[in-house]
Amino acid sequence: MKSPKLKVLVIDDSALIRSVMKEIINREKDMECVGAAPDPLEAREMIKALNPDLITLDVEMPKMDGLDFLERLMRLRPMPVLMVSTLTERGAEVTLRALELGAVDFISKPKLDIARGMEEAAAEITEKIREVAQARVRKTVVSPDQEKFSADAILPSVAGRYSSTEKLIIIGASTGGTEAIREVLTKLPADAPGVLVTQHMPEHFTKSFADRLNTLCKITVKEAVHNERILPGHAYIAPGNWHLLLKRSGANYVVNLDQGPLVNRHRPSVDVLFRSAANIAGANAIGIILTGMGKDGMQGMLEMKQAGSHTIAQDEATCVIFGMPKEAIAAGGVCEVLPLQNIARRTMEKLASIGSKSSRI
């Protein structure tokens, strides 16, 4: 008796990709493309109607991004998912996040001559479809007390209670952020103020990220440790699965790590770091929001600006994903929008212009 063919649903906003994927799949004797959707909302209805065995999923799509859709899918109707995107490269943070959310595997779309590149990868695509179809997937459960959409879940906003003149640089990033952070940190001088960095990245990856940056930068770069003093000429990377906060111990700034609820779907959350900087450093901090998907950091950057911080957003032309900077700009939390290559220089210029300010308690 013949085995039934694998039913594959392709979800991609590119008509060309949908067409090429359909051709590649339908050439195989053991699988068929039962449908192709241009966005997650249409895909949702097709999943109900067609009951596919697995889906291939792009990341950048209209109406809802692929990671949002993946998270909801794995919570409500888990099934095998193969990520197919220009953003899903080995080691890329968006890939790691997709796997964390429940995707089984990934393949990277070619960035040039897409149709030819996809055809050349046809054997890899179909082999991965076969492998992914055999995966056992489980429903992901996020209970209401595990995830929050505001930094209120971690710490209150207490703007106006800072009293130090020590300067700091505060950076938040997500998709594409590893290279954007490298660009900023490698241009900072050895005597730069202390730097706190939240990059959306899973546990166990942040230490190797910090170690790599440490070999490239004039400043010392390390994964942050709870209660350590923040020193000039040092950058502290939020460990995966821990919120990074700025705290004060006497006259010193110190690192605080917190494993409270997810905020904006993330731990570490940029909003949490930015709010802590607004509370503790105020006008003595420079806030920088870099490339990333979603809204994390939008509210926190506004709070930093309201507390007197100078705030900078990476411009659209140099972003991998202009999501987080765009949202921060729209919310009114950004003082300047700059190309990535200009951010470090401008940051040092603004820090030099910050004079002694009278304390506010």
Asked whether residue 72 falls in the same domain as residue 221, the answer is: no
Q: Report the interhelical angle of 66-76 vs 40-50 (nearest 10°).
A: 30
- For residue 256, being part of any structural domain is answered with yes
> pLDDT tens digit string along 270-316?
999 999 999 999 999 999 999 988 899 999 999 999 999 999 999 99
pLDDT of residue 342: 98
Asked whether residue 126 falls in the same domain as residue 166, the answer is: no
Count the domains in the chain.
2
Helices vs strands, H then E, count in the chain:
12, 16
**Is the predicted pLDDT of residue 146 greater than 60, yes or no?**
no
- For residue 360, being part of any structural domain is answered with no
C-beta of residue 88 within 8 angstroms of C-beta of residue 61: no
> pLDDT tens digit string along 171-197?
999 988 998 999 999 999 999 999 999
Asked whether residue 196 falls in the same domain as residue 108, the answer is: no
Q: Which of 167, 229, 218, 222 is nearest to 197 (CA)?
A: 222
**Is the predicted pLDDT of residue 359 greater than 70, yes or no?**
no
Angle, CA 84 vertex, CA 237 and CA 264 arms, to 5°: 40
> pLDDT tens digit string along 93-112?
677 778 778 888 888 888 77
**Is the predicted pLDDT of residue 91 greater than 60, yes or no?**
no
**Catalytic residue list:** 174, 200, 296
Q: What share of the chain has pLDDT > 70, as a percent?
A: 91
pTM summary value: 0.66
C-beta of residue 330 within 8 angstroms of C-beta of residue 300: no
pLDDT of residue 145: 45
User: What CATH number is given to the structural domain containing 67?
Assistant: 3.40.50.2300
User: What CATH number is given to the structural domain containing 306?
Assistant: 3.40.50.180
